[in-house]
Amino acid sequence: MREPTNRSRAGLEPSAPPPGLGLPIYTLRLGAVAGARPAAAAVAALVGAAVPSFSLTPCEGFFRGAADPGWAIMVAHADHGVIARLAEDLRCHFVQEGVGIEAHGRYLRCRADHGPALLASELWGLASGFFPAYARTCFAVASVPDKWPDCFAIITAWATTGERWTADRNRMADERLRQLLLGRNLPHARITGASPDGQHAEPGWWVETDREDAVQIGRAFLQDAVYWVEADALSVHSCRDHRSAPVGPFAERVRTVPA
């Protein structure tokens, strides 16, 4: 096994955390294979193909009442998506039921039904303090404009995140928002945010206004957050405090649906 100086040597004293000042630090916990600790060379090869630096530290645990010798894999990395894919690769390659991840003061378990996309949104949520679903929202419009405005907000008036409202209450709140936008002569058009599987959809409006005004409108309509798009960069902004977090390119998330 080739061992660059910024990677620990398996079986020796635990190394210092990998370099990465200012980067989030993740610890992935890989369990036993057939009752034995996976070969260090095999683990290092898979991890090293995904990230430039890491440390391997032997660890012991219990799984279903039996000893579970494995590895604690410490990684400093800026991209939570890379970490999510690495966890899934470890789980599949070493035939694990799950791979544990510690990050941002919390512990997650990469279950077999998670997949890297859902896990990445959970890690995004831990880092940003927003609901993980915000990182995965897709958007549907009746037609895509020839040119989107340089910047605009996406605002909904439907049930506050974490609450359930009746269909009538949702429709009434949506109509009040539409009337407010009309009354203020703010250019707007229908846009619907939805989960990637389509199980949840929430009609809203894309609105030409400034970001602070969008946050104030969202707050008035009891929203947890609003989306903001600027030069195709999608971000989410809290209506309760000053938190915000980047999400990704907006254009990749838009699709057209019949009116």
Beta strands in the chain (DSSP E): 25-30, 55-63, 66-76, 98-103, 106-111, 138-141, 151-155, 188-194, 201-207, 225-230, 233-238, 244-249, 254-256
For residue 44, the 8-state DSSP code is H
- Residue 10, pLDDT score: 39
What pTM was computed for the model? 0.81
Comparing CA positions, the residue from 227, 233, 249, 116 lying closest to residue 161 is 227
pLDDT confidence of 8, banded at 50, 70, 90?
very low
pLDDT confidence of 31, banded at 50, 70, 90?
very high
| Comma-separated ranges of CATH 3.30.70 domains in the chain | 25-128
Q: Are strands 138-141 and 254-256 parallel, antiparallel or unpaired?
A: parallel
CATH 3.30.70 fits 25-128, yes or no: yes
Q: Tens digit of pLDDT for each residue in 166-219?
A: 999 999 999 999 999 999 999 999 999 999 887 888 999 999 999 999 999 999
Q: Is the CB of residue 38 less than 8 Å from the CB of residue 19?
A: no
Q: Tens digit of pLDDT for each residue in 128-161?
A: 999 999 999 999 999 988 899 999 999 999 987 7
Q: Is the CB of residue 177 less than 8 Å from the CB of residue 131?
A: no
